[in-house]
Amino acid sequence: MAPIRLIVLVVALLAGGAAAYLALNLDSGPANEPAATPAPQVAMRDILVASADLPQGVTLSVSNMRWQPWPEDSINPAFIKKTARPDAIEKLSGVVVRNQFLNGEPIRDGKLATAESGFMSAILPEGQRAIAVRVSAESAAGGFVLPNDRVDILLTSSEEGGESRSQVTRTILRNIRVLAVDQTVQEREGEPVVIGKTATLEVTPREAEVVTAAASSGTLSLALRSMADADDADTAIDRNRSSTVKVIRFGDEQLVKTQ
């Protein structure tokens, strides 16, 4: 075979091999990548949570609690698990909230007021007292005074001035927190209306004496304060000083001083 023909044959073979190699690589596509390792499944358990914002004093019910899946590794021992207490929603219905819950927050027994603990004593701060005063729609800002509102306490009493008697109203305590309002439903013009009967107020021991003395000499009224000045220190009464209340019984005046 002539050398030139041999060279052409070798070149043709090399070209054919290269073409076949390229064709195989193009047809095979990209190399298969290793399969990704699937993420491990997170174990979930149902726990009891609030289905709405629950402020202090609200009563738990079927409508404001729900079961929600929760990562098992993040479950606090204080959380209520469905596996341990499947009837918790029914059992806790009617229980009063002692400390507020946010929507979606796990329900915990420690933030609830049980019959054994006593609701009022549970929410009352250390050193404070709870005292109840009689109220009506007229003497309680038209019935709009609600728990956790701040009020001023006004005393209206009769005073003699010469030959006539006059009604005098003065503020005896300021910036007092309302703990609870005992309400009853009455009918007015054929419609049910909620009327407050008594308001339970958070006071210091000295203020409790002032309120008790004032209630015996006149009529107490509650003036609702704006939320904007509920924490205004300039309007709060000096709770460290003694107070004097004029008590009038059957026309006789008596000054009652609290220490």
Any idea where the domains of the chain sit in the sequence? Answer: 44-121, 125-258
Give the distance from CA 1 to its chain's centroid: 102
- What amino acid occupies position 126? E
End-to-end CA distance of the chain: 133
Task: Determine the Cα–Cα distance for residues 67 and 214; give it in Å rounded to an integer.
Answer: 50
> In which band, very low, low, confident or very high, does the pLDDT at 48 lie, cut at 50, 70 and 90?
very high
Q: What are phi and psi of 147, to 5 degrees?
A: -55, 140
Q: Between residues 126 and 71, which one has the greater pLDDT? A: 71
Q: 199 with 178: CB under 8 angstroms?
A: yes
Residue 258 has pLDDT above 80, yes or no: no
State the DSSP string of the chain: --HHHHHHHHHHHHHHHHHHHHHHHHHH-SPPPPPPPPPPPPPEEEEEEESS-B-TTPBP-GGGEEEEEEEGGG--TTB-BTTT-TTHHHHHTTPEESS-B-TTPBPBGGGEE-TTT-HHHHHSPTT-EEEEEE--TTTBGGGT--TT-EEEEEEEEEEEETTEEEEEEEEEEEEEEEEEEEEEEEEETTEEEEEEEEEEEEE-HHHHHHHHHHHTTSEEEEEEPPGGGTT-GGGS--TTS-EEEEEEETTEEEEEEE-
Long-range contacts, stretch 229-238, CB < 8 angstroms, 24+ apart: 230/150, 230/175, 232/175, 235/174, 235/175, 236/174, 236/175, 237/173, 237/174, 237/175
> In which band, very low, low, confident or very high, does the pLDDT at 193 lie, cut at 50, 70 and 90?
very low
Whole-prediction pTM value?
0.49
pLDDT tens for residues 6-27? 666 666 666 667 676 666 666 5
Question: CA-based angle 78:81:83, to the nearest 5?
Answer: 145
**Which candidate, 129, 68, 128, places its Cα nearest to that of 101?**
68
pLDDT tens for residues 204-246? 999 999 999 998 888 898 888 888 876 665 444 444 444 555 5
pLDDT tens for residues 145-176? 777 889 999 999 887 665 667 788 899 999 99
Task: Determine the Cα–Cα distance for residues 144 and 244; give it in Å rounded to an integer.
Answer: 30
Q: What is the pLDDT of residue 234?
A: 45
Would you say how long the chain is, in residues? 259
Q: What is the pLDDT of residue 242?
A: 46
Residue 247 has pLDDT above 60, yes or no: no
Which CATH code, of 3.40.50.300, 3.90.1210.10, 3.40.710.10, 3.30.460.10, is assigned to 44-121? 3.90.1210.10
Q: What is the mean pLDDT of residues 175-200?
A: 66
Give the number of other CB atoms < 10 A from CB of residue 99. Answer: 14
Tokens describing residue 229: 């000045």
Q: Which residues pair with 50 in a beta bridge?
A: 65
pLDDT tens for residues 67-122? 999 999 999 999 999 999 999 999 999 888 888 899 999 999 988 876 555 667 76
Q: What is the pLDDT of residue 8?
A: 60
- What amino acid occupies position 144? F
Question: CA-based angle 180:213:175, to the nearest 5?
Answer: 45
